[in-house]
Chains A and B, each alone.
Chain A
Amino acid sequence: MNAKITRRHTLAAFALAATALSPFAAHAEDVVKVGVILPMTGPSASTGREIAAAIKLFQAQKGDKAGGKKVEVIIKDDTGVADITKRLAQELIVNDKASVIAGFGLTPLALAVAPIATQAKVPAVVMAAGTAIITEASPYIVRTSFTLPQNTMPIAQWAVKNGIKKVVTLVTDYGPGIDAEKTFVATIKENGGQVLDSLRSPLKNPEFAPFLQKAKDLKPDALFLFVPSGQGAALMKQVSERDFAKEGIKVIGTGDVTDDEQLNNMGDAVLGMITSHNYSADHDSPENKAYVAAFEKANPGLRPNFMSVGGYDGMALIYAALDKTKGDTNGTKLVEAMKGMSWTSPRGPISIDPETRDIIQNVYIRKVEKKNGQLYNVEFSTMANVKDPFKAAKAAKK
């Protein structure tokens, strides 16, 4: 009895295997897996949600084929903790055989993955994190988001042009904040301006009052602000409490502060605030109009922000690279294919610098205005094809 069953089972298993194996094997060849690691929960969850929504939108629009292969996206949640990002990257590469990894909501998360990308020779597409040094951490890192120096330099130059002489900076005390501060301070000083003080607030800081009061008491011409995506509303709330305009102090910053996702909730206190950034949902181009409309249709109540375009363009880059290698998933070949790639994104023309694997893009100076009852960052001046100034300065020294 027992023997019979066993034999029958074995036979059945063989039969199954015979029919199943061959198509499966062929199938696996034709699938390219893209492992996306994002903070989908925790304090940076808004970044994860924006990027995940953009990736879904991209695949819904462009289909799931690139370079003759089916592209399968696996999204994993690292909750914004670097240890988890690292572990997930390992799992994605070793267990899931991901050919490309992408995402990375914050600088420490991107840096944690760098050694893995180098060892496994797997391209890591940074869709969000903005500290300049990230692309130097591994030859397999390519970035489609932005760098803080890139987004900061234009507003500093704008300040100089508009007669701002004395400034105070207030940034969050971590990689991107310090990048923003250094770039702003350097640009102001080079142009004969004066930096009265550079304030840094702790990353987990509920109370901005003392820093803002100090900035106000120093009576600068302008106060420069940077906080990571998601904290802008809290900061602007306390900024509006202090009445900087009454003292004749202009409040300026990078677009992270007037993040599109939260801008509408910030109230009229932010009207007229001037920032520089790589993307505004209000950007006037047919590509962007189509993008915003499709994004808002797929995600009611959510406005696409700069994080979302980072994700959207990251997917565009991965697709284009696969097309170029005709489906070859060799990591080194993919990175080579990505270098120098250029295309028109919803944010405007962008390209990947072949030297640094970092993004080259337009940076816009914008002013918060009300349009149809909604607050938008309205662009009024463009600085074309900005390279990351941090790495440009390094290259110039060599």
Chain B
Amino acid sequence: MLTVLFDGIAYGMLLFVLAVGLSVTLGLMNFINLAHGAFAMAGGYIAVVMMQRFGLSLFWGLPVAFLVTAALGAFLERTLYVRLYDKPHLEQVMFTIGLVFMSVAGVDYFMGASPQIVDVPQSLDGNIDFGGVSLNKYRLFVIAFCAVLTLALQLGLSKTRFGSRLRAAVDDSRVARGLGINVTTIFALTFAFGSGLAGLGGALGAAIFSLDPQFPLKFMIYFLVVIAVGGTTTITGPFFASILLGVADVAGKYYTPTIAGHQIQIGGFVIYTIMVLVLIFRPQGLFGRAPGK
């Protein structure tokens, strides 16, 4: 029971790091970036290359994955995304889904289609017993790491000058510009940071899931569910939504009843059921503000 909860939280935390960047671009910048998963995949593959070709440990792979993906995000934002900010949503969707397919084919070509394996550092390998429950060290590390990250993000957004500028730029970019805030730079930085977080999530997750070129497509649904359930206006919304979905997904699959040797395949649908229910009763997401304007 506790192990299920533990696995669920670890899974949820990973989902959060993977999806939070999307919540920023979607919620704060009002841009539909379906290619978010491609950045996560890029981060994962960067970590793999660092570890396999250069023999670095995962601890170094993580920051490198973050920085390189952030740089990649900044580059693409300046060259491609910036042209689509004021385009209709449909065009943004078409553009970013195109990017996803390009990334899938590109990674397939350069890295091969077979799943990549990321080795967990020796110090995080194995399990520890905690009051009779055996906990996987790496998953414990993921939980701790993501918890610290979430706290830092929340503080950064609400307490720092950059955070308040960003919120101002989002609320009304014309007025923010008038007040001398460099909105373009702020958006570019935010986009890069969101992409970097996705890359970090990809690198962290690669050691638990396998990493293959289909990654952005496999996880796109999960990202969107997290954003739909959590709402896009806060950091805490997607956070709690991720944890809820992670636990519900794991528990749903664990507790699926078996009847006369035939498993009823409802385990995998639990998170979608939750999403549907949330959207019926709170269309703006669990933690979203109702649209006021």
Contact = CB atoms under 8 A, between A and B. Distances in A.
Interface string A154-176: 00000000000000000001000
B77 interface: no
A238 B208 contact: yes
B113 A267 contact: no
A231 B115 contact: yes
Interface in B193-218: 207-210, 212, 214, 218
Contacts of B11: 207, 209
A202 B268 contact: yes
A114 interface: no
B263 interface: yes
A204 B218 contact: yes
Interface in A223-263: 230-231, 233-234, 237-238, 241-243, 261-262
Interface stretch (B184-192, B250-258, B280-288): B250-258
B291 interface: no
Main secondary structure of the interface of A (DSSP, over half): mixed
Interface stretch (A12-20, A140-148, A210-218, A280-288): A210-218
A266 B115 CA distance: 11
A49 B258 CA distance: 38
A180 to B, nearest CB: 14
A217 B134 CA distance: 12
A200 interface: yes
Contacts of A191: none
A84 to B, nearest CB: 16
Interface string B42-83: 000000000000000000000000000000000000000000
Contacts of B251: 210
A230 B115 contact: yes
A46 B214 CA distance: 13
A43 B250 contact: no
A335 interface: no
Contacts of B123: none
Given A207-B209, A209-B250, A233 B115 contact: yes
A198 B114 contact: no
B268 A41 contact: no
A294 interface: no
Contacts of A53: none
Contacts of B117: 233, 237, 265-267
Contacts of A369: none
Nearest to B261: A198
A72 B227 CA distance: 52
A198 B117 CA distance: 28
B119 A45 contact: no
Contacts, number: 94
Contact of B3 (A205, A213, A231, A266): A213
A137 interface: no
B293 to A, nearest CB: 38
B266 to A, nearest CB: 11
Interface in B1-52: 3-4, 7, 11
B150 interface: no
B138 interface: yes
Given A41-B105, A207-B209, A241-B138, A46 B114 contact: yes
A237 B252 CA distance: 22
Interface in B107-162: 108, 112-115, 117, 119, 126-127, 134, 136, 138-139
A133 interface: no
Given A43-B113, A262-B114, A267-B119, A199 B4 contact: no
Nearest to A229: B114
Interface of B: 3-4, 7, 11, 105, 108, 112-115, 117, 119, 126-127, 134, 136, 138-139, 207-210, 212, 214, 218-219, 249-254, 258, 261-263, 265, 267-268
Given A206-B219, A233-B210, 13 more contacts: A45-B112, A46-B114, A185-B261, A206-B210, A210-B251, A210-B254, A213-B4, A230-B115, A231-B115, A233-B117, A237-B208, A261-B114, A265-B117
Interface of A: 41-43, 45-46, 49, 173, 185, 195, 197-202, 204-207, 209-211, 213-214, 217, 230-231, 233-234, 237-238, 241-243, 261-262, 265-267
9 contacts: A41-B113, A43-B113, A45-B114, A198-B263, A201-B253, A202-B265, A206-B218, A213-B4, A237-B210
